[in-house]
């Protein structure tokens, strides 16, 4: 039972994980906020959320959904409760990926309001902003039980830290958190 919950939680959120990581890897260029400030005089979002990162993040996350759909269509993993056709996977992955990107941007917006500079840590916000956005968007199409939401959030704390350490070691990120 625990392993099924763990597997289904990871399977559900995987497109969001890939979208978030891909936005970091392929990001750069023009920031989404175009360098504009909010009414408080601080940057709206900052240089970390770019058009290129958003587009590639959503595309890569959606591609993961396509691959998941094909794998489920071949019945490799047995039945998963919240999925249907390959197209259902792709659409859900698009929603999860878009939610992850929006959640990350909202996290950056909040950090700017709290005077936290880009790259500086904001514990829990840094780890959970994208996953909360993904779950909120994904829930529209595929509501999941609260046990999965809690499992996803707990797993994400560890996966996010591990992913950041790996990205730092590979030279993708300047800081390890």
Cα distance between residue 72 and residue 53, in whole Å: 28
Mean pLDDT within 2-15: 94
Read off the pLDDT band of 120 (50, 70, 90). confident
Phi-psi region of 109 (alpha: psi -120 to 50; beta: other; left: phi over 0): alpha
d(CA 5, CA 28) in angstroms, rounded, equals 36
Q: Is the pTM of this model over 0.85?
A: yes
Mean pLDDT of all residues in 22-45? 95
């Amino acid at each position: 039972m625990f392993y099924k919950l763990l597997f289904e939680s990871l399977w559900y959120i995987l497109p969001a994980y890939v979208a978030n990581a891909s936005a970091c890897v392929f990001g750069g260029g023009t920031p989404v906020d175009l360098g504009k400030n909010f009414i408080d005089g601080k940057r709206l979002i900052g240089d970390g959320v770019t058009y290129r990162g958003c587009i590639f993040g959503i595309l890569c996350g959606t591609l993961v959904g396509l691959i998941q759909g094909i794998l489920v269509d071949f019945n490799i993993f047995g039945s998963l409760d919240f999925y249907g056709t390959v197209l259902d996977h792709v659409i859900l992955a698009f929603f999860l990926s878009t939610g992850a990107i929006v959640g990350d941007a909202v996290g950056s917006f909040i950090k700017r309001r709290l005077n936290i500079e880009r790259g500086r840590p904001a514990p829990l916000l840094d780890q959970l902003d994208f996953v909360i956005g993904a779950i909120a968007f994904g829930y529209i199409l595929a509501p999941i039980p609260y046990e999965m939401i809690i499992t996803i959030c707990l797993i994400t704390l560890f996966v996010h830290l591990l992913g950041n350490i790996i990205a730092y070691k590979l030279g993708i990120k300047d800081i390890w958190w």
